[in-house]
Structures are given as C-alpha cells and as structure tokens.
Structure 1
Amino acid sequence: MNPPNPAPVATSLPEARLLEMVFPDHTNHLGTLFGGQALAWMDKAAFIVASRHARRTVVTARSEEVNFRVPVRKGQLAELVARIVHVGHSSMTVEVELTAEDPLTGDRRVCTTGRFVMVALDSNGTPATVPALPTVIG
C-alpha cells in the first residue's frame, strides 16, 4: 500500500513589510506626509519584495492607481505592506498598502494604496525571467 500524498502546503504571496516614522522633514505645511515621500516609501517596499522574489536587480517600470485616502500625520508610524500579485515573464505587479498608526493610541488607518510594476534585469541590463508565484491554497 502506498502512503497517501501529503496535503498541499498553504503558502502566501511574497510579501515585504517596512516601518517608517513620519518626522517633520517628511511633511508639508499642514503637518501631513508629502505625497512624494509616500510614493518613495511605497516604491522602496515594492523594490524589496520584487528583488527578494526575483533574486535579481529590479527597476520600477510603472506606478499606477495610487490612491491617497487619508492623510498621514507627523508623529505617526507608516507601515508599508507590499505583495506580489502577478508575475509575467520578467515583470512583477506589486500591490502596496500604507497604513498610518498613532503610536500612543494604536489607532490604525489605511491611508494610501497603489500598484507598481517592477522588471527584473540580467547583468546586461535587459529584462530577465522571474520565477512564477507559489501556488496559494485556501
């Protein structure tokens, strides 16, 4: 008698998490996070998750559908979660969510979301194949 096939192992999408503190030099005259700073942090998170998945140099090819919903205030923590949601031949689509947290109360709100397309490069700077996403179960 053959042993039963092992149950598939549940995996999750490749993910990276970063925490940043919103200091006064990150904010505008209203005391809220500059949009460009939010985009830079989001792009950094997308870069990290794509680099780790591809194990190659990656570059940003496109940012799309960035939504600034709630302002991030000076003194808050900004948590960025980046997940690869699609892989092509050499490209990876990364969804990034920026959540602001008041470090004194623990109040958390999703403030900004966006999608970034990252492209893996070989040593000659041309697009290179990236691994497929793991199978996600359940």
Structure 2
Amino acid sequence: MTRSAITSASSEAHLLEVVLADQADCIGMLNGASALYMMGKAALRCAAEHSGCSVKLAKADSIEFVRPIRIGSTVDIRARVVFQGLSTMTVIVEMTPDASDEQEDPSNIYGRFLMVAVDTNGIPISIASSTTHDQQKNL
C-alpha cells in the first residue's frame, strides 16, 4: 500500500509504505532490495515532479542501513531534490519507521540518488527545455 504527495515546490515527495512479509528476510526484517526499490520509487516520483518530464535512475550511492525495520511497520519515505544540473538531479531519500517504532534517531535507511531527465527515447534532455516545451504545449 502506497500513498504519495508532492509539495507545492515540487522538489519533495513523501510516500508511506507498509512492510509486507514478501519484502522481508528470514528473520522478519525489511530486506535491502525491497528498501532500495521503495527509495528508488520515491526518488523517481520526486525528480519527475520537479523536472516535469520523464526521468531515469543513473546512480544510487551512499546508501546506509542504520537499523532494521520489521514486518508490519509503516515506513515514511521522504525524497527531496538537493541539486539540479542541466539534465540531472540529486535526490536525497530517507526512510523512517512509523511513530510507534521511532527511537531517538528515527532515520533507519538513507541514500543519494542521481536522476536524469530523458525524452521518449531515453536520451538525456535539459530540464529547463522540457519545462519550456510543456508550457508551450499548454498555450
């Protein structure tokens, strides 16, 4: 189950997900691949809303798994654009458990995602030109 919202500035995304059994390892904790999938989804949504065009994941790095997250936990996934280049955006994503699981430092998993604005052929495009193109279509 996923809910999402983009802020009015369109540089942030907020997703809520429930950790299900098929996303967990043999000891009942969220597995790394499922965590990266959830985080990547938030980064993609954030970058697409920010740029106003299609985006692709170019790189994921600095992923840190601070604490495990249990099956049944609701996780709050927040993504925000922290840098925009000509066709790229750096998106920081943080995943934290719901309030009942929260400890002093609630961050459980966080990382950095490099997203690229692309055209319909998957070729990188300028973020500014994609926004201008969309505005011209609406005239």
TM-score (norm 2): 0.80
CA RMSD between the two structures: 1.7
Distance 1:107 1:54 in 2: 33
> Between Structure 1 and Structure 2, which shows a larger proportion of helix residues?
2
- Per the TM alignment, residue 100 of structure 1 is displaced from its structure 2 partner at its CA by 1.0
Identity %: 38
Total equivalences in the alignment = 119
Gaps of 5+ in 2: 1-7, 129-139
Distance 1:121 1:88 in 2: 13
Distance 1:121 1:100 in 2: 33
In the alignment, structure 1 residue 31 sits paired with structure 2 residue 25: no
Distance 1:58 1:113 in 2: 20
When Rg is computed on C-alpha atoms for both structures, the one with the higher figure is 1
8 Å Cα contact 1:69-1:112 kept in structure 2: yes
Distance 1:46 1:53 in 2: 10
SS of 2:57's equivalent in the other structure is: strand
TM-score (norm 1): 0.80
Note closer, same or farther for the CA distance 1:124–1:12 as it changes in structure 2 (3 Å cut): closer
For CA contacts below 8 A with separation 6 or more, give which structure has more relative contact order: 1
Distance 1:15 1:106 in 2: 24
In the alignment, structure 1 residue 58 sits paired with structure 2 residue 90: no
Q: 64, 67, 88: which one pairs with 1:70?
A: 67
8 Å Cα contact 1:13-1:85 kept in structure 2: no
**Per-residue Cα deviation, 1:2-24 (whole angstroms, up to 9, x for no partner):** xxxxxxxxx96710000000111
